[in-house]
Structure 1
Amino acid sequence: MNAEREIALVTGANKGIGFATARKLAELGMTVYLGARDETRGTHAAEQLHAGGLDVTYIQIDVTDDKSIAAAAERVKTERGKLDVLVNNAGIGSPDAIPSEVTRAQLRNMFEINVFGSVVVTNAFLPLLRQAPAARIVNISSEVGSLSAMLDDPESMMYQYLRDLVYPTTKAAVNMITGQYAKELRDTPIKVSAAIPGYVATDFNGRTGHRTPEQAAEIVTTLATLPADAPTGQYWGSLTGAEDGVHQHGRW
């Protein structure tokens, strides 16, 4: 960690993986902006962490609203002048629509949040990330966004994941976004990674996941605090059948 306090922003952080990540980053000594679109929920979440002695502040940010994103970036610029860690966590879960039943509205809604939001937020905060000594960008992805996991082995559990087209497609897009930003920024100290939290008990799945948000946050914070000699463009986390996080290259 730098002698100067590091600044982090986590979007969609009023609950679940985002909330646990905000807590963990603050426990590591960072000043954390807890991003949420709903002021009441976001303020309550930030106050919970602040009451525990953590340096966490609510910031209003709706990843589908360009004005909201710009205002959040301007606030961080005014108050801090830089951003060391950006976690693009805001997202929505699956409509459980098989390919032949998907509607345009379902595609548009999920891409707007899971994909477009990550790009617009990253671009809005990139000038502040460039002001940090060695910033880190972490995009929350999923194993279902991996082409190799989903399509290469007909005998695998992931191959059998047919019930939805939309969510896996958005996460495949997040993986491509991660790789393209990593290439653009490869000659800078900024590292860009995609985190695979695993099957986490959240509102997305009716809390049926076998991993906790805190376990998922460990993956995110590992990528958010990568050392200078670590690779960029990683797709890393909890893969099916693996107890420990693994680093996967190539055909995501």
Structure 2
Amino acid sequence: MRTLLLHGLGSSRGIWDRFESRAPDWLELWDAELPWASAGDGGWSHRSDPTGPLARALAGVDGGADLVVAHSFAANTLLELLGRAGAAETGPEQIRPAMAPAAPPRSAAVPLPRAVVLVSPFYRSAADDFDWAAIDFYLNHFHRILEEGIRVSAPAGLPAEIRVAMGERVRERIGPYGWMRFFEAYLRTPFLPVADLALPLLVVAGDGDFAARPGDGRALADAAPDGRYALLPDCGHFAMAEHPDRFAALVADFARPLSPLHAAPEPILDTHLERT
């Protein structure tokens, strides 16, 4: 089963390493180094529409991706891409988000997956859920999210002051334009046509995630017609790195019904996927 892994803002494809070492063999794993990676140059953020890199990543999977696993900012960008695909079928004037940037013309349709896993997506169900305090938090504490990614992926024993300095350096690479692309995507989430998503969707959240609130992940899963929700205890914003065994089990159990019967082994763990 072809599975595409998409990392979040200021991260890299390396964030999936622990999951990849534990994923079942019947998942054919692909990953992409997206332009918003920690070592990126920031040029991607000068364009208002960030969905292009994801569309190219999807098109780059030979035979098309059956499953896409997207983290954080990539999860939000994927939701926008899926929403536009639905608009192409039902009429963009009917479901296009009010705040969405105009989609650029495409020479060919983006190959869409059969199912998606969204890890720590940013979501709010109503525009009134955003206030000035939210802007203040994500502007002035943005570096904390980046530092957490460094903490969970760096070798043990990395001094805290080094981790802080690395987080600040990544923040500078992302820059104000990159932050704006992130927060604009977050602000558009109340207008996304989640109720029209015609594919299985799993939202994975950590109960200690201070960046993407776990309750908002549940609300996103509730809004999707075939949405499921999994909350990991003692976990923050990076479930695939913090609890790779449990995360691999969740993905495997979710993907198993979409796989050939002969390729689907018994569950790795009792994952208790919740159908919302």
TM-score range, shorter chain: 0.3 to 0.5
Query: TM-score, structure 2 length as denominator?
Result: 0.39
Which has a greater percent of helix? Answer: 2
Give the number of the structure with larger relative contact order, counting CA–CA contacts within 8 Å between residues 6 or more apart: 2
